[in-house]
Amino acid sequence: MRKQYFTYITAFFLLLTTGVAIYYQSKAKDLQNELEATKAHEIEMEGSIAAQHELLSVDSLLVDGNYRAALTAYEEQFKELQEDDSAGLQLRMALANQLMHLRASRNARLNQDSVPAQDSVQTDILSNARVVKQYDSINFVLEKTKVQLARTKKQLLKKSFGEYLTFKSSKGSQLHYVGEVKDHKANGHGLALLNTGSRYEGEWKDNMRHGEGTFFWADGERYEGNYVNDKRQGEGTYYWPNGEKYVGQWKNDQRYGKGIFFGKDGEIVANGVWKEDVLVQADK
């Protein structure tokens, strides 16, 4: 009887030991699979980061003005990418071609929503072709874009290198956009280059300028301030290349409300209430 009991005990411990061994063997296999999956993911991420760094180095060629070299490099990378990953490169190639075209023409027109100076102190910057030609549209865009693209690159690195869109503005200008995207539209902070040679950097809502931002025209004018539904509205400052500026309120892309017009030397030329870009009530 004791011998039979001992046999049962031995069999029980043998089964228990076997079960424990099988359990830990299974756990070890799961851990091994997890480790291999982690290593594979790390390799994939390292490859993705390396590819993005290579892409950013080509972007540097673009902002330095080496459009042909940048376009060639983009085309080489495009051949190696899968179709799902090609959208960003296609937009970069389109942008490089656009900048090459602008450099060749060097006569980009003023954007449609450029603001004329006050009638009584009308600047001759728009009527004097010799002065306008002093502002090389492409060089102006490039110099300003260098700083903004550096900031944009950091934002893209934080958000899987950002997203790229191309669409038309509410005024019909074709633009290339890089920045935050939601629901397949520009939403949040982003940078856009227009086919007119102008550029906007700031806040967006549903593909429209909305919130704080800065718009640079190709001839050297710029606006810094608030936008609502793609139009200047609220507080903002408009600068002319000859040093004149307007500081005050806006509505529907026009000076509207309290505002001050400064001359090129910084003196106050007009101060009061404006309506539809006209001073209607001057302060004494």
Ranges 20-29, 47-56, 138-147, 199-208, most confident: 199-208
Higher pLDDT, 54 or 277: 277
Q: Are residues 183 and 237 in the same domain?
A: yes
Say which residue, 133 or 264, is predicted with more confidence.
264
pLDDT score of 94: 77
Are residues 244 and 190 located together in one domain of the fold?
yes
Task: Check residues 148 and 119 and name the one with the higher pLDDT.
Answer: 148
Range of the domain at 62: 1-105
Per-chain mean pLDDT for the chain: 75
Evaluate whether residue 110 is within a structural domain. no
pLDDT of res. 247:
97
Q: Which residue has the higher pLDDT, 30 or 56?
A: 56
- pLDDT band at 133; cut points 50, 70, 90: very low
Count of domains for the chain: 2
| 208 vs 90 pLDDT, higher one | 208
- Assess if residue 83 is contained within a domain: yes
In this structure, is residue 73 part of a structural domain?
A: yes
pLDDT of residue 256: 97
Residues 150, 89: one domain?
no
Task: Give, for 178, the enclosing helix (H) or strand (E).
Answer: strand 174-182
User: 265 lies in a domain?
Assistant: yes
Q: What is the pLDDT of residue 70?
A: 78
Residues 152 and 94 in one domain: no
Answer whether residue 142 is part of any domain.
yes
φ/ψ region of 64 (left if φ > 0, alpha if ψ in -120 to 50, else beta) reads: alpha
Q: What is the mean pLDDT of residues 147-174?
A: 69
Give DSSP secondary structure letters for 143-170.
HHHHHHHHHHHHHHHHTTT-EEEEEE-T
| Whether residues 26 and 84 fall in one domain | yes
**Shared domain check, 225 and 125:** yes
Of the candidates 82, 105, 128, which is a domain's last residue?
Answer: 105
For residue 132, pLDDT over 50 is answered with no
Q: Which contacts (CB < 8 Å, 24+ apart) does range 182-191 have?
A: 189/155, 190/152, 191/145, 191/148, 191/149, 191/152
Asked if 264 and 185 sit in the same domain, the reply is yes
Q: Is the pTM of this model over 0.95?
A: no
Q: Is it the case that residue 279 has pLDDT exceeding 80? A: yes
How do residues 199-253 score in pLDDT, each as one tens digit? 999 999 999 999 999 999 988 999 999 999 999 999 999 999 999 999 999 999 9
Domain termination residue (choose one: 105, 129, 153): 105
